[in-house]
Amino acid sequence: MKKSFYQIDQKQLAEDLQTNLKQGLAVQEAKQRFEKNGANTLTAKKKKSLFAKFVDQFKDLMIGILLAAAFVAALTGEQTDALFILAIVIINAIFGVFQESKSENAIDALKKMATPKATVIRGGQPEQVPATDLVVGDLVSLEAGDIVPADLRLVDVANLRVEEAALTGESVPVEKTDKTLTEDKLPLGDQDNLAFMNAHVVYGRALGIVVATGMQTEVGKIAGALQGQDETKTPLQENLKSLSKVLTYLILAIAALTFVIGYFTQNMPIIDLILTAISLAVAAIPEGLPAIVTITLALGTARMAKKAALVRKLPAVETLGSTDIIGSDKTGTLTQNKMTVEKVVLNGQVVDLAEENPFDSAHLSKPAAILGDIMTLNNDSQLTAEGLVGDPTETALIDFNEKYRPDRLEALRGQERLQEIPFDSERKLMTTIYEAGDAYQVTVKGAPDSILARVDSVLENGEVRPFTKEDLAHYQTVNGQLADQALRVLAFAEKSLKTLPQEAKSDEMETGLTLVGFVAMIDPERPEVKDSVAQAKAAGIRPMMITGDHPQTAAAIADRLRILDKNDDREKTVMTGAALDELSDDVFDKRVEDVKVYARVAPAHKVRIVQAWQKKGKVVAMTGDGVNDAPALKAADIGVAMGITGTEVSKEAADMVLADDNFSTIVSAVKEGRKVFANIQKALQYLLASNLAEVIAIFMMTLLGWEVLAPVMILWINLVTDTMPAIALGLEPAQKNIMQQKPRGKTANFLSGGVGPAILWQGILQAVIVLSVYGFALAFPDHSGTALIHGDALTMAFMTLGLMQMFNAVNVKSVYQSQLNASTFKNHFFNGALLFSLIAMMAVVVIEPLNPIFHVTNLDPYQWFIVIGASIAIIVIVELVKWVQRTFFNRG
């Protein structure tokens, strides 16, 4: 079996890669390898051209039927009808392309423009080169603050610690070694002699040989796997696809039936039957629906962008609204990805900094001051132009002093360190020596067990006294209690020397110490996340934590965020990746509903978790920022990546990017998604009820032998009524209780929640009113002369159908609730759109030069009275039906 890089000793590795452990590659050899293997970059998925995006917009089934209708209309000489249909289809396509391109540009803007540099040794000489120029075999130098430029096998390490959260999910920096490891199949987080591309060096220095570049790195392997993964269809796409099929079958059936009836019972000419079939197709297809859906989604994305949520794919907005499960990474998403001191132990007691300032307490201020001094002096973090750089644990200690006593911190920063004993993993201690008046102060920090074994006195109430067995037991208990809360505990001690030793040695400097206190820290939860989790739960959404961190740490944060409830059985609700590996798919499918926290998981685990929920018909959202999150982001129904701390791989895999990395933005996005779905439902009810009325009216006109509404009439009605009023419905505010409703899930569709029945009875009602007006006009004509009778009747039917649809837009704002209240007209865009559409609809009759184009006649006041009265009747009748539904059937 081929050995992994971490299992190969340095000498053998140098031979295998034909490089030198001291000199690196020769300059010419590096150049040749670069020309042969290419740049050290990740290959991005090729973006579609504008033309390809435009063509994609025409793949919808309803769009195909409309294009066919336009073609037939053009062949039969109805050029105006053909042009109208084409115009609507093209406008819809342009909207789709515009939004897709706009979203891609927003994501691109998040990418870092500068190419990171790397220090490489070639021919024995160090030089700075772009990281993209590195090749396998290069010898690279790493220092604190560097970004690891490629996958490296470390060959010379000096106290190196690397933060790998983006790849492994481990929030605490990993201590690295240059020793050869012998174990088989070590997970990435335990391959301690390797440094991976995009990781951050937080402490120490090292030399490493490049063993993989570009797509061959661990980051690149994940990126490559993502590009071959299929896109997940969103509920919106599935709903529209199903709706298109149903409408297609209905259109074909109705057109065929009308053709048979017209040909065999009415003896209609073939050309008239063809035109009638086109009218039916135009009437049945909500040609404005794709555009309305696109516009409504685009308006949703615009609102979300203002709240720092950038949507890459329009349907993702609506998908958020149907989310059942949110699987979230811990580090940087639920937490701040920044170690913070939360508690200190002084005088043997635990002080919670959220409740008490130790520097303000009379009996704590002196030991607190000494502890603060040691935290500052025994610290290797550095203040640079970019901010504080160093190990997150040490930067947390500086942040503590910056918060409570910035003046003292500034004074201590200029103090010269005389000697030190660096930290190492065997002692688990770090010691520094400073001048203190006539003496020298020795400061020691490290693991509590290591410190407690080396102290013989303790600082208590400002006085030093002997350290007893009872003290040892007490401090060990306190350490255990803090560790149980997943807090990282450091102990601090000191002693005074009269003379400075020539060389600081552990057995002399790190014995006979005085214990000053403990510091307990953690990567804390984001302050706003707890409320967001509560809101998600109230909305029926299940938040889960999926992390590479330790189970104890993960469970502690989940407790604090209330992802875990007080009564939860931890054995059932917390699962590790190792435990997950032991479960078959069938067993895990049964267990998945119990688990709320997953710890120590790998990318494959995350995908498996997502897919297990999807098998149960749940809509799964996955949030994250690391490379390790990307496969699950791709597999989820909607992937949400972090824009600031997120890697480019995770952003490319996601459907939505949070520009502010704020978990609360997800909750806002869910609310927006629910509102978008509700508004699309309103628009759909409005459009389909109108189209159903048109189909029934045309069918009955054919059956009765009346003159049928021309295709241009139907198109004008649809153009006027299906655009601005329908778009305005997309701007309706969210219902007050929208985040107290349960997720609708994958099984719900646009016709659920009473929308389907409402479309049927409101469509039939509109058709009955239109036919009644037509019949009344034929029976009681006001104009004299036979030639105008049918023209006036058809015009009145045409106007009634158009105006009534607009008034019905008021009704569809709620399936069951009354709209006879002031809040109905709070949407000012809707009010304006309705008024504009009413004027545009009436204009084709009032403005006589337009009459011939639309096959209409000019109406007199009496006829207008009939038309307007019949149109407004739709509001009165629908309100009455809603009242009956609420009163006698307990609806709404």
- The rounded distance, in Å, linking the Cα atoms of 691 and 286 is 7
Cα separation, 575 vs 597, in Å, equals 6
Smallest CA-to-CA distance from 532 within 670, 664, 335, 661 is with: 664
- CA 72 to CA 66: how far, in whole Å? 10
Cα–Cα distance, 23 to 2 (Å, whole number): 27
Which residue of the set 60, 81, 138, 329 is catalytic? 329
Rounded CA-CA distance 91/85 in Å is: 10
Among 339, 344, 342, CA closest to 516: 344
Say whether 438 is catalytic: no
Do residues 659 and 247 touch, judged by C-beta distance below 8 A?
no
Q: How far is CA 720 from CA 70, 88, 368, 801, in A?
A: 19, 12, 74, 12
Determine the Cα–Cα distance for residues 280 and 531; give it in Å rounded to an integer. Answer: 52
8-state DSSP, 114: S
134/35 Cα distance (integer angstroms): 11
Please state the φ and ψ torsions of residue 140, each to the nearest 5 degrees: -115, 140
DSSP codes, 516-550: EEEEEEE-PBPTTHHHHHHHHHHTT-EEEEE-SS-
Contact 263, 64 (CB under 8 A): no
What is the rounded distance in angstroms from the CA atom of residue 25 to the CA atom of residue 131? Answer: 16
| Residues whose CB falls within 8 Å of the CB of residue 277, separated by 6 or more in sequence, listed in order | 72, 255, 258, 259
Residue bearing tokens 């993960």: 554
332: Cβ–Cβ under 8 A, 6 or more apart, which residues?
165, 625, 626, 642, 645, 661
Residue whose entry in the numeric block shows the structure tokens 């500034």:
410
* 161 CB-near residues (< 8 Å, 6+ apart): 173, 174, 175, 176, 201, 202, 203, 204, 391
H or E element at residue 413: helix 406-413
User: Which stretches does DSSP call E strand in 290-353?
Assistant: 309-311, 325-328, 340-346, 349-352
Integer Cα distance of 166 and 394 in angstroms:
20
Burial of 784 (0-12, 13-18, 19+ CB in 10 A): exposed
Helices and strands (H and E) in the chain: how many: 33, 26
User: 35 CB contacts (<8 Å, ≥6 apart)?
Assistant: none
- For the annotated catalytic residues, the residue numbers are 329
